[in-house]
Structure 1
Amino acid sequence: MLLEDILEEYDYFCISKGFTRKTIINKRQELKQFKRFITEKRGIVELESITTHDIKAYMRYKQKSGLKPQSIVSMMKMIRAFFSWCEKEEYIKENIAKKVELPRVPKKILKGFTTEEVTKMIHSFSYKNYFEARNKAIIAMLADTGLRAFEIRGLEAKNVKENTILVNGKGNKERYIFISPALKKILIRYERIRKEYFKDKNVNEKYYFLSYKGDQISHVGLGNIVKEAGERAGIRDKRVSPHTFRHFFAVQCILNGIDIYTLSKLLGHSDISTTQRYLQSLEDFQLIEKAMPSSPLMNIKI
Protein backbone atom coordinates (compact mmCIF):
# COMPACT_ATOMS: atom_id res chain seq x y z
CA MET A 1 0.00 0.00 0.00
CA LEU A 2 1.28 3.45 -0.88
CA LEU A 3 2.10 5.50 2.20
CA GLU A 4 0.45 8.53 0.62
CA ASP A 5 -2.86 6.67 0.24
CA ILE A 6 -2.82 5.34 3.79
CA LEU A 7 -2.08 8.81 5.20
CA GLU A 8 -5.06 10.22 3.31
CA GLU A 9 -7.33 7.50 4.74
CA TYR A 10 -5.96 8.12 8.24
CA ASP A 11 -6.70 11.83 7.90
CA TYR A 12 -10.38 11.10 7.25
CA PHE A 13 -10.39 8.67 10.17
CA CYS A 14 -9.16 11.46 12.49
CA ILE A 15 -11.84 13.83 11.19
CA SER A 16 -14.54 11.20 11.75
CA LYS A 17 -13.35 10.71 15.35
CA GLY A 18 -14.14 14.35 16.09
CA PHE A 19 -10.63 15.53 16.92
CA THR A 20 -10.30 19.29 17.36
CA ARG A 21 -9.23 21.43 14.41
CA LYS A 22 -5.93 22.17 16.15
CA THR A 23 -5.23 18.45 16.65
CA ILE A 24 -6.06 17.68 13.02
CA ILE A 25 -3.73 20.43 11.79
CA ASN A 26 -0.88 19.26 14.04
CA LYS A 27 -1.27 15.66 12.88
CA ARG A 28 -1.35 16.69 9.22
CA GLN A 29 1.77 18.83 9.52
CA GLU A 30 3.76 16.18 11.38
CA LEU A 31 2.78 13.28 9.14
CA LYS A 32 3.45 15.40 6.08
CA GLN A 33 7.01 15.99 7.31
CA PHE A 34 7.36 12.30 8.15
CA LYS A 35 6.21 11.29 4.63
CA ARG A 36 8.64 13.75 3.03
CA PHE A 37 11.55 12.34 5.04
CA ILE A 38 10.62 8.71 4.35
CA THR A 39 10.17 9.24 0.61
CA GLU A 40 12.99 11.71 -0.07
CA LYS A 41 15.66 10.71 2.46
CA ARG A 42 14.95 6.97 2.73
CA GLY A 43 13.54 6.32 -0.77
CA ILE A 44 10.43 4.53 0.55
CA VAL A 45 6.94 4.95 -0.87
CA GLU A 46 5.13 1.90 0.53
CA LEU A 47 3.90 1.60 4.10
CA GLU A 48 5.02 -2.03 4.47
CA SER A 49 8.60 -1.10 3.61
CA ILE A 50 9.02 1.24 6.58
CA THR A 51 11.08 -0.24 9.42
CA THR A 52 11.88 0.73 12.98
CA HIS A 53 15.28 1.92 11.74
CA ASP A 54 13.58 4.40 9.40
CA ILE A 55 11.54 5.84 12.25
CA LYS A 56 14.66 6.06 14.45
CA ALA A 57 16.45 7.86 11.62
CA TYR A 58 13.57 10.35 11.41
CA MET A 59 13.75 10.99 15.15
CA ARG A 60 17.54 11.58 14.94
CA TYR A 61 16.93 13.92 11.99
CA LYS A 62 14.52 15.93 14.12
CA GLN A 63 16.92 15.99 17.06
CA LYS A 64 19.75 17.30 14.86
CA SER A 65 17.45 20.06 13.61
CA GLY A 66 17.31 21.37 17.19
CA LEU A 67 13.90 20.07 18.24
CA LYS A 68 13.59 19.87 22.04
CA PRO A 69 12.96 16.53 23.82
CA GLN A 70 9.36 17.47 24.71
CA SER A 71 8.62 18.30 21.07
CA ILE A 72 10.26 15.04 19.97
CA VAL A 73 8.02 13.09 22.35
CA SER A 74 4.90 14.90 21.08
CA MET A 75 5.95 14.21 17.50
CA MET A 76 6.57 10.51 18.17
CA LYS A 77 3.21 10.12 19.89
CA MET A 78 1.50 11.24 16.68
CA ILE A 79 3.57 8.81 14.63
CA ARG A 80 2.86 6.00 17.08
CA ALA A 81 -0.86 6.78 16.87
CA PHE A 82 -0.70 6.52 13.07
CA PHE A 83 1.06 3.15 13.10
CA SER A 84 -1.26 1.90 15.85
CA TRP A 85 -4.20 2.68 13.57
CA CYS A 86 -2.43 0.94 10.67
CA GLU A 87 -2.05 -2.15 12.87
CA LYS A 88 -5.74 -2.13 13.84
CA GLU A 89 -6.72 -1.79 10.19
CA GLU A 90 -4.40 -4.74 9.44
CA TYR A 91 -2.26 -2.79 6.99
CA ILE A 92 0.78 -3.87 9.01
CA LYS A 93 1.38 -6.78 11.40
CA GLU A 94 2.60 -4.67 14.33
CA ASN A 95 3.13 -1.10 15.45
CA ILE A 96 6.83 -0.76 14.69
CA ALA A 97 6.90 2.78 16.12
CA LYS A 98 6.45 1.32 19.62
CA LYS A 99 9.96 -0.11 19.44
CA VAL A 100 11.48 3.36 19.15
CA GLU A 101 12.63 4.56 22.57
CA LEU A 102 11.58 8.11 23.35
CA PRO A 103 14.06 10.66 24.70
CA ARG A 104 13.88 11.62 28.36
CA VAL A 105 12.20 14.94 28.99
CA PRO A 106 13.72 17.08 31.77
CA LYS A 107 11.12 17.67 34.45
CA LYS A 108 10.34 21.35 34.84
CA ILE A 109 8.39 22.34 37.91
CA LEU A 110 5.83 25.02 37.17
CA LYS A 111 5.97 27.93 39.55
CA GLY A 112 2.30 28.30 40.36
CA PHE A 113 0.17 31.17 41.63
CA THR A 114 -0.36 31.81 45.31
CA THR A 115 -3.85 32.44 46.66
CA GLU A 116 -2.85 36.06 47.29
CA GLU A 117 -1.84 36.53 43.66
CA VAL A 118 -5.07 35.00 42.36
CA THR A 119 -7.09 37.22 44.71
CA LYS A 120 -5.25 40.29 43.40
CA MET A 121 -5.91 39.31 39.79
CA ILE A 122 -9.64 38.82 40.39
CA HIS A 123 -9.91 42.12 42.27
CA SER A 124 -7.87 43.93 39.60
CA PHE A 125 -11.06 44.07 37.51
CA SER A 126 -14.23 45.89 38.53
CA TYR A 127 -17.88 45.96 37.48
CA LYS A 128 -17.80 49.46 35.99
CA ASN A 129 -18.41 48.20 32.43
CA TYR A 130 -18.99 44.99 30.46
CA PHE A 131 -15.35 44.25 29.71
CA GLU A 132 -14.23 44.73 33.31
CA ALA A 133 -17.03 42.47 34.54
CA ARG A 134 -16.35 39.87 31.85
CA ASN A 135 -12.63 39.76 32.60
CA LYS A 136 -13.28 39.44 36.33
CA ALA A 137 -15.66 36.54 35.67
CA ILE A 138 -13.18 34.82 33.36
CA ILE A 139 -10.30 35.03 35.85
CA ALA A 140 -12.55 33.84 38.68
CA MET A 141 -13.84 30.92 36.62
CA LEU A 142 -10.34 29.88 35.53
CA ALA A 143 -9.18 29.86 39.16
CA ASP A 144 -12.27 28.16 40.59
CA THR A 145 -12.92 25.49 37.96
CA GLY A 146 -9.60 24.65 36.29
CA LEU A 147 -11.13 24.84 32.81
CA ARG A 148 -8.85 24.73 29.78
CA ALA A 149 -8.48 27.83 27.62
CA PHE A 150 -10.54 26.41 24.75
CA GLU A 151 -13.19 25.23 27.23
CA ILE A 152 -13.60 28.77 28.58
CA ARG A 153 -13.72 30.24 25.07
CA GLY A 154 -16.20 27.65 23.81
CA LEU A 155 -18.38 27.66 26.91
CA GLU A 156 -22.02 27.80 25.83
CA ALA A 157 -24.47 30.02 27.71
CA LYS A 158 -27.07 27.24 27.90
CA ASN A 159 -24.60 25.01 29.75
CA VAL A 160 -24.05 27.43 32.65
CA LYS A 161 -26.72 26.32 35.08
CA GLU A 162 -27.66 27.36 38.60
CA ASN A 163 -24.97 25.31 40.37
CA THR A 164 -23.14 23.48 37.59
CA ILE A 165 -21.39 23.97 34.27
CA LEU A 166 -21.56 21.37 31.51
CA VAL A 167 -18.15 21.39 29.84
CA ASN A 168 -17.34 20.00 26.41
CA GLY A 169 -13.71 18.97 26.80
CA LYS A 170 -11.05 17.18 24.76
CA GLY A 171 -12.37 14.57 22.38
CA ASN A 172 -15.86 16.04 22.84
CA LYS A 173 -16.04 14.40 26.28
CA GLU A 174 -18.57 16.08 28.53
CA ARG A 175 -18.18 16.61 32.27
CA TYR A 176 -19.88 18.66 34.97
CA ILE A 177 -18.14 21.33 37.05
CA PHE A 178 -19.53 22.71 40.30
CA ILE A 179 -20.18 26.47 40.62
CA SER A 180 -19.22 27.62 44.09
CA PRO A 181 -21.27 30.36 45.81
CA ALA A 182 -18.24 32.70 45.56
CA LEU A 183 -18.03 32.20 41.79
CA LYS A 184 -21.82 32.35 41.38
CA LYS A 185 -21.89 35.80 42.98
CA ILE A 186 -19.47 37.11 40.33
CA LEU A 187 -21.30 35.38 37.46
CA ILE A 188 -24.67 36.83 38.46
CA ARG A 189 -23.33 40.38 38.25
CA TYR A 190 -21.52 39.60 35.00
CA GLU A 191 -24.69 38.20 33.41
CA ARG A 192 -26.68 41.27 34.42
CA ILE A 193 -24.08 43.65 32.95
CA ARG A 194 -23.73 41.54 29.78
CA LYS A 195 -27.49 41.59 29.21
CA GLU A 196 -27.60 45.38 29.53
CA TYR A 197 -24.50 45.96 27.37
CA PHE A 198 -25.69 43.84 24.45
CA LYS A 199 -29.30 44.94 24.63
CA ASP A 200 -30.59 45.75 21.12
CA LYS A 201 -27.28 44.52 19.60
CA ASN A 202 -26.78 41.64 17.20
CA VAL A 203 -24.76 39.04 19.12
CA ASN A 204 -23.93 35.34 19.00
CA GLU A 205 -26.03 34.17 21.92
CA LYS A 206 -24.41 30.72 21.86
CA TYR A 207 -21.33 31.69 23.87
CA TYR A 208 -21.23 32.66 27.53
CA PHE A 209 -18.24 35.02 27.26
CA LEU A 210 -18.43 37.43 24.35
CA SER A 211 -15.91 39.64 22.56
CA TYR A 212 -16.53 43.31 21.85
CA LYS A 213 -18.12 42.19 18.56
CA GLY A 214 -20.57 40.00 20.44
CA ASP A 215 -18.95 36.77 19.26
CA GLN A 216 -16.67 34.05 20.65
CA ILE A 217 -13.47 35.30 22.29
CA SER A 218 -10.36 34.39 20.30
CA HIS A 219 -7.40 32.44 21.64
CA VAL A 220 -5.25 35.57 21.56
CA GLY A 221 -8.02 37.59 23.17
CA LEU A 222 -8.24 35.26 26.14
CA GLY A 223 -4.47 35.27 26.49
CA ASN A 224 -4.47 39.06 26.59
CA ILE A 225 -7.13 39.10 29.32
CA VAL A 226 -5.07 36.79 31.51
CA LYS A 227 -1.89 38.72 30.75
CA GLU A 228 -3.54 42.01 31.73
CA ALA A 229 -4.71 40.46 35.01
CA GLY A 230 -1.12 39.52 35.81
CA GLU A 231 0.15 42.99 34.94
CA ARG A 232 -2.48 44.70 37.08
CA ALA A 233 -1.65 42.40 39.99
CA GLY A 234 2.07 43.06 39.63
CA ILE A 235 3.09 39.47 38.86
CA ARG A 236 6.48 39.53 37.19
CA ASP A 237 8.38 36.29 37.83
CA LYS A 238 5.81 33.72 36.73
CA ARG A 239 4.15 32.54 33.57
CA VAL A 240 0.70 34.14 33.58
CA SER A 241 -1.49 31.95 31.38
CA PRO A 242 -4.81 30.06 31.48
CA HIS A 243 -2.85 26.85 32.09
CA THR A 244 -1.24 28.30 35.22
CA PHE A 245 -4.74 28.92 36.61
CA ARG A 246 -5.58 25.30 35.82
CA HIS A 247 -2.50 24.27 37.74
CA PHE A 248 -3.52 26.53 40.65
CA PHE A 249 -6.96 24.89 40.77
CA ALA A 250 -5.43 21.39 40.83
CA VAL A 251 -2.98 22.19 43.61
CA GLN A 252 -5.65 23.86 45.75
CA CYS A 253 -7.94 20.84 45.32
CA ILE A 254 -5.21 18.47 46.48
CA LEU A 255 -4.32 20.67 49.45
CA ASN A 256 -7.99 20.85 50.42
CA GLY A 257 -8.33 17.08 50.53
CA ILE A 258 -9.74 16.07 47.12
CA ASP A 259 -8.35 12.70 46.04
CA ILE A 260 -6.41 12.50 42.81
CA TYR A 261 -9.02 10.33 41.07
CA THR A 262 -11.77 12.89 41.66
CA LEU A 263 -9.43 15.70 40.62
CA SER A 264 -8.58 13.83 37.42
CA LYS A 265 -12.29 13.74 36.52
CA LEU A 266 -12.75 17.42 37.37
CA LEU A 267 -9.85 18.35 35.08
CA GLY A 268 -11.10 16.12 32.27
CA HIS A 269 -7.93 14.01 32.16
CA SER A 270 -8.18 10.63 30.44
CA ASP A 271 -5.00 9.44 32.16
CA ILE A 272 -4.31 9.90 35.87
CA SER A 273 -0.56 10.25 35.18
CA THR A 274 -1.36 13.63 33.60
CA THR A 275 -3.01 14.71 36.85
CA GLN A 276 -0.06 13.49 38.92
CA ARG A 277 2.25 15.95 37.18
CA TYR A 278 0.39 18.82 38.87
CA LEU A 279 1.66 17.56 42.23
CA GLN A 280 5.29 18.15 41.31
CA SER A 281 5.04 21.85 42.15
CA LEU A 282 3.85 21.33 45.71
CA GLU A 283 6.41 22.75 48.09
CA ASP A 284 7.85 20.45 50.75
CA PHE A 285 6.10 22.34 53.55
CA GLN A 286 2.78 21.96 51.74
CA LEU A 287 3.28 18.23 51.43
CA ILE A 288 4.12 18.01 55.13
CA GLU A 289 0.97 19.94 56.09
CA LYS A 290 -1.11 17.67 53.86
CA ALA A 291 0.51 14.51 55.24
CA MET A 292 0.00 15.41 58.93
CA PRO A 293 -3.76 14.63 59.14
CA SER A 294 -3.20 11.29 57.39
CA SER A 295 -0.44 10.17 59.78
CA PRO A 296 -1.46 6.73 61.18
CA LEU A 297 -0.04 7.45 64.64
CA MET A 298 -1.71 10.88 64.79
CA ASN A 299 -5.07 9.11 64.41
CA ILE A 300 -4.37 6.42 66.98
CA LYS A 301 -4.57 7.00 70.72
CA ILE A 302 -1.14 6.01 72.04
Structure 2
Amino acid sequence: MYTGMRISEICNLKMVDIDLENRRISVVGKGNIYRRIPLREDVVYMMKEYVEQEREKSKFADSEYLIVTQRSAKMDRTAMLTWFWRLSAELGFRIYPHKFRHTFCTRLIQLGVPILTVSKLVGHSSPQMTARYYVKIGMNEKLHAIHLL
Protein backbone atom coordinates (compact mmCIF):
# COMPACT_ATOMS: atom_id res chain seq x y z
CA MET A 1 0.00 0.00 0.00
CA TYR A 2 2.82 2.43 0.81
CA THR A 3 5.29 1.36 -1.88
CA GLY A 4 3.19 0.98 -5.03
CA MET A 5 5.03 -2.24 -5.86
CA ARG A 6 3.72 -4.90 -8.22
CA ILE A 7 3.07 -8.40 -6.86
CA SER A 8 6.04 -9.82 -8.79
CA GLU A 9 8.30 -7.07 -7.40
CA ILE A 10 7.24 -7.94 -3.86
CA CYS A 11 7.81 -11.66 -4.40
CA ASN A 12 11.25 -11.00 -5.93
CA LEU A 13 12.40 -8.50 -3.29
CA LYS A 14 15.69 -9.68 -1.82
CA MET A 15 17.18 -8.83 1.55
CA VAL A 16 20.07 -7.01 -0.18
CA ASP A 17 17.53 -4.71 -1.87
CA ILE A 18 16.38 -3.37 1.48
CA ASP A 19 18.11 -0.54 3.30
CA LEU A 20 16.12 -0.04 6.48
CA GLU A 21 18.69 2.33 7.96
CA ASN A 22 18.21 4.79 5.09
CA ARG A 23 14.52 3.83 4.73
CA ARG A 24 14.47 2.73 1.11
CA ILE A 25 14.28 -0.29 -1.14
CA SER A 26 15.68 -0.90 -4.59
CA VAL A 27 13.42 -2.55 -7.15
CA VAL A 28 13.95 -3.83 -10.67
CA GLY A 29 10.50 -3.89 -12.19
CA LYS A 30 8.71 -4.50 -15.42
CA GLY A 31 10.82 -3.63 -18.47
CA ASN A 32 13.95 -3.88 -16.29
CA ILE A 33 13.22 -0.40 -14.90
CA TYR A 34 15.30 0.21 -11.78
CA ARG A 35 13.94 2.47 -9.08
CA ARG A 36 14.46 3.33 -5.45
CA ILE A 37 11.41 3.66 -3.25
CA PRO A 38 11.60 5.60 0.00
CA LEU A 39 9.85 3.97 2.96
CA ARG A 40 7.63 5.50 5.59
CA GLU A 41 8.80 5.03 9.18
CA ASP A 42 5.84 2.75 10.02
CA VAL A 43 6.69 0.50 7.05
CA VAL A 44 10.30 0.25 8.21
CA TYR A 45 9.06 -0.73 11.67
CA MET A 46 6.75 -3.45 10.28
CA MET A 47 9.50 -4.81 8.02
CA LYS A 48 11.94 -4.99 10.94
CA GLU A 49 9.31 -6.72 13.04
CA TYR A 50 8.63 -9.27 10.28
CA VAL A 51 12.33 -9.98 9.67
CA GLU A 52 13.23 -10.25 13.37
CA GLN A 53 10.19 -12.23 14.50
CA GLU A 54 8.09 -14.01 11.87
CA ARG A 55 10.79 -14.67 9.29
CA GLU A 56 13.27 -15.86 11.93
CA LYS A 57 10.86 -18.67 12.91
CA SER A 58 10.91 -20.06 9.37
CA LYS A 59 13.16 -22.91 8.28
CA PHE A 60 13.93 -20.60 5.34
CA ALA A 61 15.15 -17.71 7.53
CA ASP A 62 18.45 -17.68 5.62
CA SER A 63 16.71 -17.13 2.26
CA GLU A 64 17.94 -14.27 0.12
CA TYR A 65 14.28 -13.23 -0.43
CA LEU A 66 12.36 -11.05 2.01
CA ILE A 67 9.10 -12.97 2.05
CA VAL A 68 9.28 -16.68 2.74
CA THR A 69 6.52 -19.24 3.20
CA GLN A 70 6.26 -22.40 5.28
CA ARG A 71 7.08 -24.42 2.16
CA SER A 72 9.44 -22.22 0.20
CA ALA A 73 12.39 -19.87 0.47
CA LYS A 74 10.49 -17.42 -1.75
CA MET A 75 6.86 -16.37 -1.85
CA ASP A 76 5.50 -16.85 -5.35
CA ARG A 77 2.69 -15.06 -7.14
CA THR A 78 0.22 -17.95 -6.82
CA ALA A 79 0.81 -18.32 -3.08
CA MET A 80 0.31 -14.59 -2.55
CA LEU A 81 -2.89 -14.54 -4.61
CA THR A 82 -4.17 -17.54 -2.65
CA TRP A 83 -3.39 -15.77 0.62
CA PHE A 84 -5.31 -12.68 -0.54
CA TRP A 85 -8.23 -14.87 -1.67
CA ARG A 86 -8.43 -16.48 1.79
CA LEU A 87 -8.12 -13.12 3.51
CA SER A 88 -10.90 -11.72 1.29
CA ALA A 89 -13.19 -14.60 2.27
CA GLU A 90 -12.41 -14.00 5.94
CA LEU A 91 -13.06 -10.26 5.68
CA GLY A 92 -16.18 -10.62 3.55
CA PHE A 93 -14.99 -8.34 0.75
CA ARG A 94 -12.50 -8.72 -2.08
CA ILE A 95 -8.95 -7.44 -1.76
CA TYR A 96 -6.07 -8.16 -4.09
CA PRO A 97 -2.45 -6.98 -4.41
CA HIS A 98 -2.97 -4.70 -7.39
CA LYS A 99 -5.71 -2.86 -5.50
CA PHE A 100 -3.00 -1.59 -3.13
CA ARG A 101 -0.91 -0.36 -6.05
CA HIS A 102 -3.96 1.31 -7.57
CA THR A 103 -4.81 2.97 -4.24
CA PHE A 104 -1.21 4.15 -3.85
CA CYS A 105 -1.25 5.90 -7.23
CA THR A 106 -4.77 7.27 -6.93
CA ARG A 107 -4.21 8.72 -3.46
CA LEU A 108 -0.91 10.36 -4.42
CA ILE A 109 -2.55 12.00 -7.43
CA GLN A 110 -5.52 13.12 -5.31
CA LEU A 111 -3.09 14.63 -2.81
CA GLY A 112 -1.52 16.73 -5.57
CA VAL A 113 1.72 14.80 -6.05
CA PRO A 114 3.03 15.55 -9.57
CA ILE A 115 2.23 12.80 -12.07
CA LEU A 116 5.93 12.51 -12.98
CA THR A 117 6.79 11.70 -9.34
CA VAL A 118 4.03 9.09 -9.12
CA SER A 119 5.20 7.58 -12.41
CA LYS A 120 8.78 7.30 -11.14
CA LEU A 121 7.67 5.78 -7.82
CA VAL A 122 5.68 3.00 -9.48
CA GLY A 123 8.08 2.33 -12.35
CA HIS A 124 5.87 3.26 -15.26
CA SER A 125 7.64 3.79 -18.57
CA SER A 126 6.10 7.26 -18.88
CA PRO A 127 3.88 9.73 -17.03
CA GLN A 128 1.31 9.19 -19.78
CA MET A 129 0.98 5.57 -18.68
CA THR A 130 0.30 6.70 -15.11
CA ALA A 131 -2.23 9.29 -16.28
CA ARG A 132 -4.00 6.76 -18.49
CA TYR A 133 -4.71 4.42 -15.59
CA TYR A 134 -4.99 6.67 -12.58
CA VAL A 135 -6.11 10.17 -13.51
CA LYS A 136 -9.89 10.27 -13.39
CA ILE A 137 -11.55 13.61 -13.97
CA GLY A 138 -15.02 13.77 -12.45
CA MET A 139 -17.78 16.32 -12.86
CA ASN A 140 -16.69 18.19 -9.70
CA GLU A 141 -13.18 18.69 -11.10
CA LYS A 142 -14.62 19.89 -14.41
CA LEU A 143 -17.01 22.27 -12.65
CA HIS A 144 -14.16 23.65 -10.53
CA ALA A 145 -12.07 24.21 -13.67
CA ILE A 146 -14.91 26.12 -15.35
CA HIS A 147 -15.34 28.32 -12.29
CA LEU A 148 -11.68 29.32 -12.48
CA LEU A 149 -12.42 31.24 -15.71
Give the TM-score taking structure 2 as reference length: 0.83
Give how far 1:180 is off. Answer: 0.3
Flag the structure with more relative contact order, 1 or 2, with Cα contacts below 8 A and sequence separation at least 6: 2
Alpha carbons of structure 1 residues 283 and 210: separation in structure 2 relative to 1, 3 Å: farther
Look up the match of 1:211. Answer: 69
- Checking the alignment, whether the CA contact within 8 Å between 2:60 and 2:68 is kept in structure 1 is no
The residue type equivalent to 2:134 in the other structure is Y
- Give the % identical residues: 27
Of 168, 172, 176, the residue aligned with 2:36 is 176
Q: Pick from 146, 153, 156 the counterpart of residue 4 of structure 2.
A: 146
1:204, 1:214 within 8 Å by CA — same for their partners in 2? no
Report how many residues are paired.
Answer: 144
Gap runs ≥5 in structure 1:
1-142, 298-302
Letter in 2 for 1:155: L
Cα distance in 1 for partners of 2:46, 2:24 equals 14
Q: Mark the CA change 1:145 to 1:197 in structure 2 (over 3 Å): closer, same or farther.
A: same
> Any stretches of 5+ residues in structure 2 without a counterpart?
none
Bigger radius of gyration, 1 or 2? 1
1:279 corresponds in structure 2 to 135
- For residue 194 of structure 1, what is the amino acid of its counterpart? E
**Aligned-pair distance for 1:204?**
5.4
Deviation at 1:210, TM superposition (A): 0.6
Q: Does residue 249 in structure 1 map to residue 104 in structure 2? A: yes
User: RMSD of aligned C-alpha atoms?
Assistant: 2.4
The answer as to whether partners of 2:26 and 2:35 remain within 8 angstroms in 1 is yes
For 2:24 and 2:87, how far apart are their aligned partners in 1?
Answer: 25
1:194 aligns with 2:54: yes
- Whether contact under 8 Å (2:24, 2:37) holds in the other structure is yes
The 8 Å contact of residues 147 and 267 in structure 1, kept in 2 or not, is answered as yes
Report which of the two has the higher share of strand: 2
Q: Secondary structure at the match of 2:80?
A: helix
Distance 2:48 2:138 in 1: 35
Which residue does 1:234 correspond to in 2? Answer: 92
- 1:233 and 1:202 map into 2 onto residues whose CA distance is 29
Q: CA deviation at 1:296?
A: 6.5
Higher helix share: 1
**Deviations 1:165-195, CA, capped at 9 Å, x for gaps:** 1011112221011110121222121111134
The answer as to whether partners of 2:25 and 2:37 remain within 8 angstroms in 1 is yes
Residue identity opposite 1:148 in structure 2: R
Contact 2:60 2:73 in 1 (8 A): no
Deviation string for 1:249-274 (max 9, x for gaps)? 00111122211001000010012221
Residue 261, structure 1, aligned to residue 116, structure 2: yes
2:55, 2:61 within 8 Å by CA — same for their partners in 1? no
Measure the CA separation in 1 of the matches of 2:60 and 2:55: 12
Equivalence for 2:15: 157
